């Protein structure tokens, strides 16, 4: 389960990257301290592809060092999920299989540590976005980091997570003037 935990954290550290995007990473996607990639989800649906570019923090680099495969060329996949001898159909099947296995392992970890919310790759993605939102990072930055084509998509994505923030604001408002009495 160590690899599942590491991959969950890698997703979180890397803008909440989709697990499919993690599986497709190659060493050529690393440019010094930065990682750039195109989202697999939108590769066929968007006319103009805009890369997601993120700063690779040390913790993410450590996960690559520990769980990545040896770089033979810059075209080598970082993680050992796919290879270039596979057909597109085989790659699709492997991505689905590994994502399902990853989420099953996270479910086991959830039970082991007694969480009430099941961990998943999606939870890592939402956690990244929510953490930034709660630290007052502009939605435009979050939207670009998630690889969304529109801020409206990000606002819909984050809508479920703003109720807690609304309660915080309500508590602030209800306490105004009470400190003076």
Q: Is 64 helix (H, G, I), strand (E, B) or coil?
A: helix
In terms of DSSP H, where are the helices of the chain?
Answer: 2-13, 19-23, 58-67, 88-113, 121-134, 139-146, 151-158, 162-175
Residues 1-51: tens digit of each pLDDT: 899 999 999 999 999 999 999 999 999 999 999 999 998 876 666 667 778
Residues 88-105: tens digit of each pLDDT: 999 999 999 999 999 999
* Lowest model confidence (mean pLDDT) among 53-57, 81-85, 142-146, 177-181: 177-181
* pTM score: 0.82
Percent share of the chain, pLDDT over 70? 87
131 DSSP assignment: H
Output the CA torsion sign for 138, 144, 148, 151.
Answer: positive
**How far from 153 is each of 7, 81, 148, 156, CA to CA, in Å?**
25, 30, 7, 5
- 80 pLDDT higher than 90: yes
Q: Provide the pLDDT for residue 40.
A: 82
């Amino acid at each position: 389960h160590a690899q599942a935990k590491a991959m969950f954290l890698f997703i979180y550290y890397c803008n909440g990257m989709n697990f499919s995007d993690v599986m497709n990473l190659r060493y050529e996607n690393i440019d010094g301290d930065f990682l750039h990639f195109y989202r697999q989800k939108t590769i066929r649906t968007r006319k103009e592809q805009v890369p997601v570019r993120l700063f690779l923090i040390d913790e993410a680099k450590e996960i690559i060092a520990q769980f990545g495969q040896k770089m033979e060329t810059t075209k080598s996949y970082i993680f050992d999920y796919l290879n270039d001898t596979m057909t597109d159909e085989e790659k699709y099947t492997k991505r689905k299989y590994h994502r399902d296995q990853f989420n099953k392992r996270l479910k086991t970890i959830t039970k082991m540590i007694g969480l009430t919310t099941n961990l998943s790759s999606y939870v890592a993605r939402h956690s990244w976005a929510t953490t930034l939102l709660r630290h007052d990072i502009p939605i435009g930055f979050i939207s670009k980091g998630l690889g969304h084509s529109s801020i409206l998509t990000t606002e819909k994505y984050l809508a479920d997570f703003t109720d807690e923030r609304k309660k915080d604001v309500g508590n602030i408002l209800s306490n105004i003037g009470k400190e003076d009495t």
